[in-house]
Amino acid sequence: MSKAKRNGGLRFQPAGGSRTLQVPAGKKQRLTIERLAGDGRGIAFFEGRTWFVSGALAGEEVEARVLNAHGKVVEARLERVFSPSPLRREAPCRHFARCGGCNLQHLPHADQLDLKQRLLAEQLQRVAGVVPEQWAAPLSGPEFGYRRRARVAVRWDQRAAKLEVGFRAEASQDIVAIEDCPVLVHPLQSVMRHLPMLLQSLDKPRVVGHVELFAGTALAMLVRHTAALAETDLARLQAFCSEAGVQLWLQGEGEPAPVESNASLGFVLEPWKLELAYRPGDFVQVNAGVNTAMIGQALDWLAVQPSERVLDLFCGLGNFALPLAQQAAEVVAVEGVQVMVDRAAANARSNNLNNVRFFQADLSQPLSASGWAAEGFSAVLLDPPRDGAYEVVRNIAALGAKRLVYVSCNPATLARDTLELVKQGYRLKRAGILDMFPQTAHVEAMALFEVDQRR
């Protein structure tokens, strides 16, 4: 008997017409990749849906497995390549197929740089309608062994009665067991190799929330715990760190604190003979080599003269402010978090720099009400978070700065703020990418703006 007969001759449909069935997770689909998205995933179009396939390259015919789907968008993972791109290489890391960390390892490093440069150019052109008068060469360093900070995921598997240690899988809360990570600096690779066995040997492993590793003037390991550590476990952690030459830091309810009260952690900016102290939890650039090159380029582009007053916004620990203070008559450095302001001021004092002043301010708001802005500046440096600095740049011309360097970790918000700077009377003189995170699609950039004298 037909369905129509069983329903008394009526055919029922959901309100609004026929319903589009979702693509189930786990389904495999053969696709042709048209181009790469901004996050490095391949884009394909099939049966009215847009597919984003991690691990795929433009021009490839592939089989992809669905991770999840919502509406007309399907997120998938490469399963098989039928016709590879001539650019494809074997991923150097054996965990590439599952780890969610380094999603461009299948693309040679030079082509990674080309992709990032293209993504920056597309954003500037599409959003702001501008092209820099000059493109700067990418600032880059070694493609592996560069990362001086890493957060290691830890979770107790109740069913298996085992502590999982590693990094998050792509588009999942699953933890990929990892004992070697080639993007870590070499001293941290050694620590990482022995870390899972150490944590799994603890008497009360359930209380470990996560672990962070740091490399600077010293090696350090922060253990975040959700309840008090057993004395035996604390002793194990201390013994491991002592043998590995690593500082042990703990964090329960309060702020991170070293087990040895006299422990200090920092990083050196060698060209300027500066040492900046920091504590686990503070923001520091993970790539020391590119960070140094970035500071050098920013100082070169700003070309600060000894008589000039300079403004450093989103100053953090003083990463730019302290080198700037060696060139300028005065530096005013502003940060949103008071603890970071205090640490930056302490870093200036420890480096005998007396011509830099630090202030706390909400940089999501206009600057006009701030007393330190009243005297004006010759040059400005901004290094905002991913949200950008829209409220800051809306009235930045009132500060009188003729030159402005914008360091960005998000090309989309850089392009948005570029449009506003053009409205403020600046022109984009120079721009280029900063390869802070090789093997990933993450794009950092630097742009130089100057007052447009043609207006």
In a domain, 406, yes or no: yes
Say what the pLDDT of residue 371 is.
Answer: 82
The pTM is what?
Answer: 0.91
308 lies in the same domain as 434:
yes
In a domain, 69, yes or no: yes
CATH number at residue 205: 2.40.50.1070
163 lies in the same domain as 30:
no
312 lies in the same domain as 415:
yes
Q: What are phi and psi of 40, to 5 degrees?
A: 90, -5
CATH number at residue 440: 3.40.50.150
Query: Is 409 tagged catalytic?
Result: yes
Per-residue pLDDT of the chain (455 residues; tens, 9 = 90+): 444 444 444 434 444 444 567 889 899 999 999 999 988 999 999 999 999 999 999 999 999 999 999 999 999 999 999 999 999 999 999 998 888 889 999 999 999 999 999 999 999 999 999 999 999 999 999 999 999 999 999 999 888 889 999 999 877 788 999 888 999 999 999 999 999 999 999 999 999 999 999 999 999 999 999 999 999 999 999 999 999 999 999 999 999 999 999 999 999 999 999 999 999 999 999 999 999 999 999 999 999 999 999 999 999 999 999 999 999 999 999 999 999 999 999 999 999 999 999 999 998 887 877 788 888 899 999 999 999 999 999 989 989 999 999 999 999 999 999 999 999 999 999 999 999 999 999 999 999 999 987 76
In a domain, 160, yes or no: yes
In the sheet where 134-135 sits, what is the strand order?
134-135, 426-434, 444-451, 403-408, 379-382, 309-313, 330-335, 356-360
Reduced to 3 states (helix: H, G, I; strand: E, B; else coil), residue 255 is coil
Say what the pLDDT of residue 38 is.
Answer: 86
123 lies in the same domain as 180:
no
Range of the domain at 72: 23-88
CB 416 within 8 A of CB 337: no
- DSSP state string for 40-92: S-EEEEETTEEEEEET--TT-EEEEEEEEEETTEEEEEEEEEEE--TT----S
Cβ count near 260 (within 10 Å): 12
Q: Angle between the 411-423 and 109-123 helix axes, to the nearest 10 degrees?
A: 40
312 lies in the same domain as 440:
yes
414 lies in the same domain as 294:
yes
- Total domains present in the chain: 3
Per annotation, catalytic residue among 99, 102, 241, 409: 409
Reduced to 3 states (helix: H, G, I; strand: E, B; else coil), residue 127 is helix
Q: What are the residues facing 156 on neighbouring strands?
A: 163
Say what the pLDDT of residue 14 is.
Answer: 46
Q: Angle between the 231-244 and 186-200 helix axes, to the nearest 10 degrees?
A: 160
Say what the pLDDT of residue 7 is.
Answer: 43
Burial 431-442 (b: 16+ CB within 10 A, else e): bbbbbbbbbbbb
CATH number at residue 44: 2.40.50.140
